[in-house]
Amino acid sequence: MIIVIILNILNILNINECGEKEEDMKNITIISVFVSLILSTFATANEVNIFNARHYKADAELYGKFTAKTGIKVNLINGKSGALEKRIIEEGADSSADLYITADAGRCGAMDAKGTLQGGLSSAAIKSAVPKNFRTSKWVGIAKRARIIYYSPERVTGAELSGMTYEGLADPKWKGRLVIRKSSNIYNKSLVASLIKNNGKKATAAWAEGVVANMARAPKGNDRAQIMAVAAGEADIAVANTYYLALMLSGKKGSEQQEAAKKVKAFFPNQDGRGTHMNVSCAALVKGAPNKKNAIALVEYLLTPEAQEHFTNNTFEFPMINGVSPSPLVVNNLGLDFKQDMNTKLSSYGKNQAAAVEVMTAAGWK
Ligand SMILES: [Fe+2]
């Protein structure tokens, strides 16, 4: 924008050079009006631009609250993550994006790897609110979710599940009994990236082959479709994120999904070891953000109890901060007292993403 302004001023000066002498004062006036207009624009622009891939209507309400509190106008540019990422990459230093808000640390990590983010999300408020495995200086987790196992209590025994881990999904005892979505899905990429981080690429490649061998069907559908498959008896266990069960139970996705959700139970893997695989919705600070200060202020606001309550009640995610309770639908049906994996840094999801895709593809994971 500054370049455009300078070019415009040069343009006027050019006209001046070629113009008559009596035109000089007029041109100087034009320039000064122009410059003061620009300056006033800069001085009064109190806004923040969010490239938003989360499509919760409730999020927009939350940004309204932020504006009411701070006077900072929030411009929401909604779109699918792929399209928004492409736009940020293409626009480069000229991008109007301040923050990129999306689901999954793997997406924020991949944008970091592409050089599209900048540091700055490291204020005391952010650091004290968010445990360090859930953030970097360039992106910060704003709400949590776990990727867990759902099972049929009729067809899966307690003994079978006892001590169950992600690693155990490759156990031949689950042959023909497991459903999980495609390898192109970001949640799976991040889960597999975390396994590579913990167990190495070679072991994870063998694991992926075991998982594919156990699949009840070729992967298809979203997370809720996996839960539906268990409810319908097509499979005995499914892998899906925590908030989807609460969403289905809420009735917001219709009575069929509500009834299906009642037929499955949630199981949190790796409780005897490193804890259950965690992920986040993340806010990333875009390189060249025109409103960096406001962007940081907005992230700090999203980590306040008011904003966190808003997230948990509307999206059924877990709060990022302590002292805020998840939605009663989550507390009552998923529980709270599970051990989270607090050691595996979520930045490893982006770093190991290519390797994760490689092992899944090699295993024939559709
Ligand atoms: Fe999701």
CA distance 355 to 199: 13
3-state SS record for 67-126: HHHHCCEEEEEECCHHHHHHHHHHHHHHCCCCEEEEECHHHHHHHHHCCCECCCCCCHHH
Ligand 1 centroid to 72 CA: how many Å?
A: 29
pLDDT at 58: 79
Q: Please name which of 297, 304, 289 lies closest in space to residue 67, comparing C-alpha atoms.
A: 297
The CATH number of whichever domain residue 252 belongs to comes to: 3.40.190.10
CA distance 204 to 209: 9
Answer yes or no: do 180 and 75 share one domain.
no
Cβ proximity of 277 and 194 under 8 Å? yes
Answer yes or no: do 19 and 104 share one domain.
no
Quick check: is 343 in a domain? Answer: no
CA distance 250 to 262: 11
Quick check: is 337 in a domain? Answer: no
Ligand 1 centroid to 216 CA: how many Å?
A: 22
Residue 232, domain extent? 146-276+348-362
pLDDT at 44: 52
CA distance 326 to 310: 10
Answer yes or no: do 261 and 285 share one domain.
no
pLDDT at 32: 40
> For residue 32, which phi and psi values (nearest 5 degrees)?
-65, -35
Ligand 1 centroid to 103 CA: how many Å?
A: 7
Quick check: is 138 in a domain? Answer: yes
- Tell me the average pLDDT of the chain: 89
Ligand 1 centroid to 318 CA: how many Å?
A: 13
Ligand 1 centroid to 246 CA: how many Å?
A: 12
Quick check: is 256 in a domain? Answer: yes
Answer yes or no: do 69 and 168 share one domain.
no
Answer yes or no: do 176 and 34 share one domain.
no
Quick check: is 100 in a domain? Answer: yes
Ligand 1 centroid to 97 CA: how many Å?
A: 23
Answer yes or no: do 353 and 216 share one domain.
yes
Quick check: is 261 in a domain? Answer: yes
Answer yes or no: do 173 and 252 share one domain.
yes
Answer yes or no: do 272 and 294 share one domain.
no
Domain count, the chain: 3
Q: Which residues of the chain have pLDDT under 70?
A: 1-44
Ligand 1 centroid to 78 CA: how many Å?
A: 16
Q: In this structure, what token pair is assigned to residue 159? A: 């003994």
Quick check: is 332 in a domain? Answer: no
Quick check: is 358 in a domain? Answer: yes
pLDDT tens digits for range 169-219: 999 999 999 999 999 999 999 999 999 999 999 999 999 999 999 999 999
pLDDT at 336: 81
Q: In this structure, what token pair is assigned to residue 102? A: 């999306």
Q: Going by C-beta distance under 8 Å and a sequence separation of 6 or more, which residues neighbour residue 109?
A: 139, 346, 347, 348, 349, 350, 351, 353
- Length of the chain measured in residues: 366
Residue 10 burial class via C-beta count within 10 angstroms: exposed 0-12, middle 13-18, buried 19 and up: exposed
H or E element in which residue 362 lies: helix 353-362
Ligand 1 centroid to 19 CA: how many Å?
A: 62
Ligand 1 centroid to 327 CA: how many Å?
A: 16
pTM listed for this prediction = 0.87
